[in-house]
Chain A
Amino acid sequence: MLDVSVSYNRYKFLGHEFLTWLWFMIDTDQNYIKSLQEDLISFEIHNRIVLENSFDNLTENITIKGDDAGLEEAKLSLQKGGVVTECNFSLKMGDLEWKFNIKGESLNISSLKSPETGNIEKKEDIEGVVLEKVYLYEKVVTLLEKLYTQFIALRIKNTWKEKTVPLIKNWIQS
């Protein structure tokens, strides 16, 4: 295995490509995402997306946020050669909803808001609430792992360049 700091910097583009691919999949093939996790009702971009565009040794960052914000400006950034570096997602499974951020370069999860759990009124309640919370966090972690595994499996094949990239290019220009 490569040195951690070397591999972190050398391969952070993969996290950005992953989030860009994920937006493409959300927009064009929700059924594929639904097939990865039981009970999944929807997986959407929620209220924040950050894109990075590098040209002529300059880096431009574009952040679009707000519950009612459209993604037209973000799409425009993709058309100029940008990639998604950070994104806030909304996940619905059954009657439950999660919201969370994923940062591409680290794949860290932040601002994860999971569905409500029971209250802790006495010491004996702690164990039950902790296990319930962990169960809810696991839903997000598992979905992220499945999506990333699928992305990597696709990314290393020839079909990535021959089939997937042209489809993403068409989607970006649409």
Chain B
Amino acid sequence: MGLLSSSVSITQYKVIGEVNGNLTATITEGLKKFSITDIDHEPVQKTAGWTCFENPYIPDFDKTSCIIGTYFIFSLRIDKKSIPSKIIKKYYMAEIAKKLAESEREHLSRNEKKTIKDNVVNFLSLRIPASPNIYDILWNYEESFLWFFSNQKAANEELETLFSKTFRLKLVRLFPYTMADLSKTLTDKDRDLFNTISPIKFVD
């Protein structure tokens, strides 16, 4: 789901830490270093990396700026190959039959079967293109907040891992506990009280 879609989902984050050195240059360098790479002709099933908001299929942070207004705006792209299980089975069974015929045996060991399956998956991975999933990101560096335009658990986890690896900054997802705990309006005494609260019943 994109920032410009007619219906969006937003997961809010607080960014902990500061970038060392020139802000724009450091962030752009990080995005370039961990930008998405093509896996269509690689025996790889899944990859994730940064891409440009305006041109997500051809990431080029030298040509496309990641700054709009006072925000850093870019995207997380997760490319995944989905090989239908029936196709894997078809090739797998054919390879098993071939191996049995060649070796003149009636059974293959578990390890042999596993090797054949891995080879089939790798072979098919080279022939099937990856489907790209693009998730937009808005980062307000000055205010230390970030919006991720998806609520999908797997995509959020991928973002948290890649963001930390790229910028050496921590992302804290905002949910009932963290939103209260990180609130600037709570005093230390309030925070102590907050940590002791427990559920209440609204009926007797």
- A residues bordering B, Cβ < 8 Å? 1-2, 4, 7-8, 10-15, 17-18, 20, 78-81, 83, 103-114, 120, 123, 126-127, 129-131, 133-134, 137, 141, 145, 148-149, 152-153, 155-156, 160-161, 165, 168-169, 172
Contacts and interface: CB of A to CB of B under 8 A. Distances in A.
B8 A112 contact: yes
A107 B179 contact: yes
A107 B176 contact: yes
A50 B30 CA distance: 42
B9 A108 contact: yes
Given A112-B8, A172-B202, A127 B176 contact: no
Contacts, number: 127
A152 B7 contact: no
A103 B204 CA distance: 26
Nearest to B199: A13
Interface in B153-204: 172-181, 183, 185-186, 190, 193-194, 197, 199-204
B71 interface: yes
B155 to A, nearest CB: 12
A98 to B, nearest CB: 11
11 contacts: A105-B175, A106-B175, A108-B12, A112-B7, A112-B9, A126-B68, A133-B3, A137-B147, A152-B194, A165-B200, A172-B202
B203 A78 contact: yes
Contacts of A169: 202-204
Q: Which 10 A-B pairs have the closest CB atoms?
A: A11-B177, A7-B177, A14-B176, A110-B9, A156-B193, A15-B176, A13-B199, A109-B10, A108-B151, A152-B180
Contacts of A141: 10, 12, 147
Contacts of A131: 68-69
Given A109-B9, A112-B8, A131-B69, A12 B176 contact: yes
B154 to A, nearest CB: 14
B6 interface: yes
A11 B204 CA distance: 22
A80 B200 contact: no
B203 A152 contact: no
